[in-house]
Amino acid sequence: MSQYVCVPSSGARAGVAAVLALALGTSSPAAADVVPRDQPGDAVQTALNELVGGGRFPGALAAVRERDGRVRDYTAGVGDLATRARVPANGRVRIASNTKTFTAAVVLQLAGEGKVELDAPVEKYLPGLVRGNGNDGRLITVRQLLQHTSGMPEYGKAIPGTFFDSRHRYFEPRELLDLALKQKPLFAPGKGWSYSNTGYVLLGLLVQKVTGRPVGMAISDRILTPLGLGDTYWPVAGEQRIRGAHPRAYKSKTGRPGGEAVDVSEMDPSRGWAAGQLVSTPRDVNRFLSALLGGKLLKPAMLEQMKRTVSVPGVPQGWGYGLGLTKIPLSCGGLAWGHSGDAGGYLTRDGITEGGRSATVTATAESLTAAEAEQLDAALDTALCAGK
């Protein structure tokens, strides 16, 4: 989706929050090492240096978390083209479609509590909402929304103008859905695969209907607070600036390689909503993945459902998409689980290996070529494989 959220290459009870916080020991995050930029022989630092070396990406940042909780932070390039300030270690960024994994985790928690059926039609939870131009919520299941097999059309294609035309515009979730429903389905539910931000907007509405709370609050109460992810937050309505230390974000004004790099750090993220609104840091994303894949957030049966993948057209062999989670084959053997997100001038890739090593890498300008996207994917692969 070119307007905001990427295509891939990615209210709990107080007692639950308290128990999880104690179980994970999240009251005081482990100290992190910041790797010097000229650190010789560090493969991850070299990969980040190469990301910014060609001049396309002003800056890059990453964090690598070992299974035992040890963390290393990395930076490269500059965090602000105007002032030439350094990239802040573990700076906050818009994680875009990586939000989907958080949204999916909440839906699967509700499924584990018996409040949502994965193979029930969305009509059961949002009666009469999905109608128009052949779109029918009676035929689309919750699982199909989670795995992008619903055939729901993409609302981003119906937003008029360019990103810059609506950069500061606030969108209501129902407005995003209405934009999608102006279009015909891409295929019959379950008969294809197509990345759908619209599906995750519907899932956000479902979470709100089932919990009786805003989806951002549900994510905060069920995930952010229990895990102690203090640098991750859901922007409030109308909030355009990123809180705290962060690298500036850039996007080509012309929409073509070589175009003027415009600072888009301030923007309204509502067009992403449950599909892509969260702000986070590399360390926090890694801790989330460690908890999620470590079985701290979902019942075993629900985590198993999340990891059941379908094939994705046009991607290398071995890749697959589960329920808000991507299966990523690694060059060093084995696989990782993660996601990706490109939006608002940031590109973020994350993953966790079967051995428990997690990594998150962000570049600070939106990619315009497949080669640049592949370079970012390769940097994540390096970060995940460097420990072997």
Please give the mean pLDDT across all residues of the chain: 90
Structure tokens at 39: 């650190």
Domains within the chain, CATH numbers bracketed: 14-385 (3.40.710.10)
Q: Over 80: is that where the pLDDT of 118 sits?
A: yes
> What sign has the CA pseudo-torsion 85, 45, 52, 97?
negative
CB 139 within 8 A of CB 155: no
Position with higher pLDDT, 255 vs 28: 255
349-360 pLDDT, tens digit per residue, is: 999 999 999 999
Structure tokens at 132: 């128009």
At 366, the pLDDT band (50, 70, 90 cuts) reads confident
At 37, the pLDDT band (50, 70, 90 cuts) reads low
CB 179 within 8 A of CB 203: no
At 34, the pLDDT band (50, 70, 90 cuts) reads low
- Crossing angle between the packed helical segments 282-293 and 99-112, to the nearest 10 degrees: 30
**Per-residue buried b or exposed e for 200-237, using 16+ beta carbons within 10 Å of the residue's own CB:** bbbbbbbbbebbebbbbebbbbbbbbbbbbebbbbbee
Q: Is 97 a catalytic residue?
A: yes
284-319 pLDDT, tens digit per residue, is: 999 999 999 999 999 999 999 999 999 998 888 899
Q: Over 50: is that where the pLDDT of 128 sits?
A: yes
What pLDDT, on the 0 to 100 scale, is given for residue 5? 39
Strand partners, 250: 263, 365
Among candidate residues 2, 9, 10, 97, the one labeled active-site is 97
Q: Over 80: is that where the pLDDT of 14 sits?
A: no
Q: Over 70: is that where the pLDDT of 18 sits?
A: no
Distance CA 189, CA 208 (A): 23
170-218 pLDDT, tens digit per residue, is: 999 999 999 999 999 999 999 999 999 999 999 999 999 999 999 999 9
What pLDDT, on the 0 to 100 scale, is given for residue 171? 98
Strand partners, 298: none
Give the lowest-confidence range in 21-30, 84-93, 310-319, 345-354.
21-30
